[in-house]
Each structure stands twice: as structure tokens, then as C-alpha cells.
Amino acid sequence: MNRLAIYCGSATPADPRYMELAREVGAALAERGIGVVYGGGKAGLMGAIANAALAAGGEVIGVIPQALVDMEVANRDCTELHVVQTMHQRKQAFTDLSDGFVTLPGGVGTMDELWEAVSWAQLGYHAKPVGLLNAFGYYDGLVAFNRHMAETGFVREAHRGIMIVGETIEELLSRMADHTPATTITQMRASEL
């Protein structure tokens, strides 16, 4: 994995552990020679991960919609800053520029990005690892809900392992390195659907 798309919040939570986590992840990726592809903002966890990766000598590629550039939230210190028109173009660029995905704590936008990466893996639009960093138990409910969807039959057995979960960045990267792409929906027979 040469580059990872990082999905995380643009907010700065009151609990300082989340900002520290973002800084740790940014530095850890840079130290491993893994470039960061992210939302291009300078606020919250997004800004913290980018700044830490840059400070550690890493590559940071921001992808940001023009509307957010106009709001002056773009991080112009990125190695590269790609300005796009829509959120759809932004998410496509994340997929095109990265070798996998890592989701840190975040809100609605972060969930949108995570679920699209999972959905696209199911459909065969990419065969890249999709990681979820469940630091501090932040995503315990989401992990349980994903398991519930599978147990109920809304996530096929072949797709149960698409979302790779780890509690530390080291654990998550190790699991992602062992990633084997799932059999996609487009590879299945109609009777398997």
C-alpha cells in the first residue's frame, strides 16, 4: 500500500484523544512511507492527520470541492491539492489515487465515505482493503450493526470481511496487508444473490 485514503471528521471534538489519534496516524503512515489521500481541509481530525504526516516528511494529497475552497478551509500546505466540483468527484478521486481506505472517527460525511467504499468493494468497482480504526470503541455500535446486517442476511457471507477492523493503526495496517478481495456481486451467479 503506497497511498491510503483517510476518512475522518473535520470537527474538533472536546475529547483530546481524537486529535491525538489523528496526529499519531498521520505520523505513523509517513514513517511507513504510506502517502495520505484525504479531504483537503485544514480543520479537525482532517487537518491534524495531514499536518502530522507532512511534519514527518510524508506525502499528503488533498481532494476538496471548490465550494470548500471558497470557504477558505483548504489546506494549501498539501503535497498536492486537487480541486473538484462535486463530492462524487471527490470520492472517485479518493478511490483512484489510493491503494486502500482507512476510516478514523468522524460524522455523517465520514460514514458516507466508508459505506461507499464498502459498497463499491461488494460491487467490484474496486478490490482495495477497507479499514475501520475503532479507537476508543468509537465504532463498537457500527461494528455490531454490520454484524447484525450479515446475521440477518442483508450482507452476503462473501462480503462479511470487507470491512477490516482494528483498534490501533498498527493492528489495522497489518490486517489490511493480508487483505484478499471478496467475490464481488458481479462475479456471482444470479442464484447466489
Q: How far apart are the first and last CA of the chain?
A: 31
Query: pLDDT-based confidence at 23, cuts 50/70/90?
Result: very high
Three-state DSSP class for residue 8: coil
pLDDT digits 0-9 by tens, 104-141:
999 999 999 999 999 999 999 999 999 999 999 999 99
pLDDT digits (tens, 9 = 90+) for 60-94: 999 999 999 999 999 999 999 999 999 999 999 99
The domain made up of 3-192 has a fold known as Rossmann fold (3.40.50)
pTM of the model: 0.94
Contact 134, 144 (CB under 8 A): no
Which ranges in the chain belong to alpha helices (H)? Answer: 17-31, 44-55, 66-70, 87-97, 108-123, 140-152, 169-177
